[in-house]
Amino acid sequence: MQIIGSSVARIDGVSKVCGKAEYVDDIFVRHMLHAKLLRSTIANGRVRRIDTAKAGTLPGVEAVVTFEDVPFHTFPTAGHPYSTDPKHQDVADRHLLTGRVRLWGDEIAAVVAADELTAEKALRLIDVEYEEYSPILNGEDALQENALEIHAGTKNIIKKTGYQLGNLEQAFAEADYILEGDYKTSVVQHCAMENHSAFAYVDATGRIVICSSTQIPHICRRIVGQALGIPWGKVRVIKPAVGGGFGSKQDVVVEPLAAFLSTKVNGRPVKLELSREETFIATRTRHAMNYWLKSGVKKDGTLLARQARIISVNGAYASHGHSIGAKCSGTVRVQYKQKAVECEVTTVYTNMPAAGAMRGYGIPQVIFALECHMEDLARAIGMDPLEFRLKNFHEPGFVDPLNGVKAHTSGLWECVEKGRKLIRWDEQKAANRNQTGPKRRGIGAACFYYGTATWPVGLELAGARIVLNQDGSVQLQVGATEIGQGSDTVFAQMTAEILGIPLDWVHVVSVQDTDITPFDTGSYASRQTYVSGGAVKKAAEEIKAKILERCRLMTDIPIHSLDIADGWVIYKQSRERLKSLESIALDSYYNLAAAAPITADVSYQARTNAFAYGCTFVEVEVDIPTGKVDVLQIYNIHDSGKIINPDLATGQVHGGVSMALGYALYEQMLFDPKSGKPLNNNLLDYKLMTAADTPKIGVAFVETDDPTAPFGNKALGEPPAISAAPAIRNAVLDATGVAINELPLNPQRLFERFKAAGLIEQEECCHV
């Protein structure tokens, strides 16, 4: 039965389309109270005085809590697995509420009331007096010698790391050409459809129960315990359907405070739901990063040496801390071959919203810098940019010299060749030469690599439980969280494939509950089909072995002669049916002499990684007088190993490319440089792609078979969001000859650069 590789329909598709899927906001419990947060109206300073007397006497208000009422100790919020090594643990720099304000909108007090309207009214009755300091809004200012410390004792540096491989001085001396470049990316927001929301209550046993839209229920449990200073076993987390996360829900944002507030109202349920405006400033963003790159090449295109300096702007709190910047630095050495490489990355605090995980985990930023730089190098030595890249790719079998991860498979050459044909690279290049006029066309390309999962930096552990039901169907429970990416469907396919049963015989329990769900670190790092898929495969193989053993006991036929197909145990050679799974299941449950229900409960730890590869090819038309860029064609090509479900995979690519287009052309959070106040933290002023703005997205795959994966599969969830931005930038360069090294490539920025380059005359400016 060939289910792996087939485009079966999503098992949760009907429930979501029909509105039957239950999200946090669809779940109601008796006596629910509502919490609202008082947020600072400065970006940097201290609360000098806070008066809650009027708010506390408002009818309907159950509790008013300020930063003076919460536990003194700090806690981390990042959704990383716990480490018993203190040096490998996340930075604990958060309080439930704070009197030391570090960003506009920092949480200084909370009101719990009978309804949201009353809670909001009470917030307006709280009187606050601040001691205000000048905000620090960029990495350069944060690193000034006399800069005010946002967190005491840090000098505004979360961490700084670096490495050098090879003889850099000698490698540069051998180069025929040396190029330096500066590149910059901006702060953007995840903008998932569902805002962050959770409610918490204390159950009859005194344990805290939290229902949350989280990507990481088991990690959330631990962090809530740390935040409240209680044993982790006193916390239970339930994750219903999730309306998107993209990494923003890989941080524990609202759950600890919701849990704490419940304890302040005698354990009654307290719901804390953020507004859309709050999600922009109080959840997580994509890191803005500054890059300086210096590379040396030979005339024949051989890349010899590279230096990189990276500043990762982390915002007011550490969140995932230095891990994202460190992952960027790894890409500098892994993306292309070079005789010598040196990289230094510094992650800094600023008075901006905290940056954390976002689809691609820093790789979209570093690939923007690297692929723009590679394009500039190719132009500098007069070489076709595709040939230049192809010449410098690592071969399959490459081993990262610092962490030992091996690239067992790579289809990157095939991806580039496929993209070249789809975009008609040579013909388009020839057609676009010597263009004049206000509208010009160009084509561009960019490549990427992406590690699947986090080993060896992070723990990769997943659990799965399969139970054979009385009718021969199976129940599948996984700790891995379905957040819209289709993982539950893929796990069902894996189970059905191994067990030889129809897909609709696999009943996936989609709600995770830390009391009963197998342990899994969560949904992130494009790890689920690779790591959690390993757990599902292990559990399914164990169940299959137990079914065949039960059949042996019933028939005396040796196991090596048996297999399962279409819900029947069969003779392996002749395919003759012997026993239905239903009959075997009934015997296992009700045999008077030897009843033993058939189950498997396993854990799987991945101690490997797999490199996914790919590229984007794009054709653009640039309206020079207005700075508007239209994407005419775009192709996103991937080596993600074996494709488990082609339609789901194509959907992942469409979604990721759409996010990347917004990142490249429109999206950027803006802040008042004097006050640090966000200027566009809403969906009216923050410019997202709409369906009408989205071009037709071409998708292609080059399938390899990675030996470390459960089914030969590699990462696909995040890679589609990586390479479109530099491909578009390179296409704009091809069309206009102007290199734009900062995102987004919006009309204002392009207009200014085109004018400075002499492409727009003063007369044209007056007519725009």
Those residues whose C-beta lies under 8 Å from the C-beta of residue 77, and which sit 6 or more positions away, are 90, 94, 223, 251, 252, 253, 317, 319, 356
Instruction: Please tell me the distance from the alpha carbon of residue 757 to that of residue 566, in angstroms, as a whole number.
Output: 67
pLDDT tens per residue across span 5-32? 999 999 999 999 999 999 999 999 999 9
Is the pLDDT confidence value at 767 over 60? Answer: no
Q: What ranges in 22-138 are assigned the alpha helix state H?
A: 53-56, 116-123
- Mean per-residue pLDDT, 377-403: 97
State how far Cα 749 lies from the chain centre: 28
Average pLDDT over residues 654-668: 97
Q: For 504, which DSSP code?
A: G
The 10s digit of each residue's pLDDT in 361-372 is: 999 999 999 999
User: Considering only 73-82, 224-233, 613-622, 758-767, which range has the smallest mean pLDDT?
Assistant: 758-767
Mean pLDDT of 214-226: 98
Q: Encode pLDDT of 53-62 as tens digits.
A: 999 999 999 9
Position 272 pLDDT exceeds 70 = yes
Residue 33 and residue 263 in contact, taking contact as beta carbons nearer than 8 Å = no
CA distance 75 to 73: 7
What's the CA gap between 82 and 604, in Å, rounded? 17
Mean residue pLDDT across the chain: 97
Query: Is the predicted pLDDT of residue 36 greater than 90, yes or no?
Result: yes
The total of other beta-carbon atoms located within 10 Å of residue 83's CB is 12
Rounded Cα distance, 30 and 270, in Å: 11
Q: Which residue shows structure tokens 């975009």?
A: 423
Please write the tens of the pLDDT for every residue from 155-164.
999 999 999 9
CB neighbours of 221 closer than 8 A, spacing ≥ 6?
232, 235, 236, 237, 514
Choose among 364, 277, 356: nearest CA to 321. 356
- Give the orientation angle of helix 363-380 with respect to helix 323-334, to 10 degrees: 30
Q: Is the pLDDT of residue 765 over 70?
A: no
Neighbouring CB atoms inside 10 A of 315's CB total 25
Contacts of 150-153 with CB under 8 Å at 24 or more apart are: 150/44, 150/102, 150/316, 150/349, 150/350, 150/351, 151/93, 151/102, 151/349
Question: 64: which strand partners?
Answer: 111
Decide the pairing of beta strands 340-349 and 439-452.
unpaired
Check if the beta carbon of residue 739 is closer than 8 Å to that of residue 733: yes
pLDDT tens per residue across span 238-254: 999 999 999 999 999 99
- The pLDDT value recorded for residue 370 is 98
CA separation for the pair 84, 78 (Å, rounded): 16
Omega prior to 456 cis, within 30 of 0? yes
pLDDT (0 to 100) of residue 761:
80
Count Cβ atoms below 10 Å from residue 404 Cβ, excluding itself. 9
Condensed to tens digits (0 to 9), the pLDDT of residues 501-559 reads: 999 999 999 999 999 999 999 999 999 999 999 999 999 999 999 999 999 999 999 99
Strands (E), 525-644: 562-565, 568-571, 577-580, 599-605, 610-623, 628-639
The count of C-alpha atoms lying within 13 angstroms of the C-alpha of 33, restricted to the half-sphere facing its C-beta, is 27
At 434, list the tokens. 């010597």
What is the four-CA torsion angle of 271, 273, 278, 283, rounded to 10 degrees?
A: 90
- Residue 734 CA to residue 440 CA, distance in Å, equals 9
CA quadruple 41, 46, 52, 54: dihedral positive or negative? negative
Strand bridging mode 107-113 / 33-39: antiparallel
Q: Say if residue 744 is preceded by a cis peptide, omega within 30 of 0.
A: yes
501-505: which pairs have CB atoms within 8 A and are 24 or more residues apart?
501/1, 501/472, 501/473, 501/474, 501/564, 501/566, 501/567, 501/581, 502/1, 502/566, 502/567, 503/3, 503/8, 503/11, 505/472, 505/473, 505/474, 505/567
pLDDT of res. 356? 98
Q: Measured between alpha carbons, how far is 614 from 43 in angstroms, rounded to an integer? A: 40
Q: Coil, helix or strand for 34?
A: strand
Beta bridge partners of 509: 477
Dihedral angle, C-alpha 758, 760, 763, 766, nearest 10 ° = -130
Res 300 pLDDT > 80: yes
User: Hey, what's the torsion of the CAs at 451, 456, 457, 461, to 10 degrees?
Assistant: 90
CA distance 656 to 510: 23
pLDDT tens-digit map of 317-356: 999 999 999 999 999 999 999 999 999 999 999 999 999 9
Could you give the CA distance from residue 155 to residue 167 in angstroms, rounded to a whole number? Answer: 32
Note the Cα 269 to chain centre separation in Å: 30
Dihedrals phi, psi of 334, to nearest 5 degrees: -95, -25
Task: Please tell me whether residue 30 adopts helix, strand or coil conformation.
Answer: coil
| Sheet with 577-580, side-by-side order of all strands | 562-565, 568-571, 577-580
- Give the chain's radius of gyration (CA, Å): 28
For residue range 564-600, list pLDDT tens digits in order. Answer: 999 999 999 999 999 999 999 999 999 999 999 999 9
CA 681 to chain centre: 21
Residue 756 half-sphere exposure, CB side, CA atoms within 13 Å? Answer: 9
The span from the CA of 415 to the CA of 703, in Å, is: 10
Q: What is the mean predicted confidence (pLDDT) over 224-236?
A: 98
Pick from 285, 275, 300, 136: nearest CA to 667 = 285
Q: Which domains, from first to last, does the chain contain?
A: 31-134+191-282 (3.90.1170.50), 406-452+610-768 (3.30.365.10), 461-605 (3.30.365.10)
pLDDT tens string 111-156? 999 999 999 999 999 999 999 999 999 999 999 999 999 999 999 9
User: Which residues, including other chains, have CB under 8 Å from residue 740's CB and lie 6 or more apart?
Assistant: 729, 732, 733, 749, 750, 753
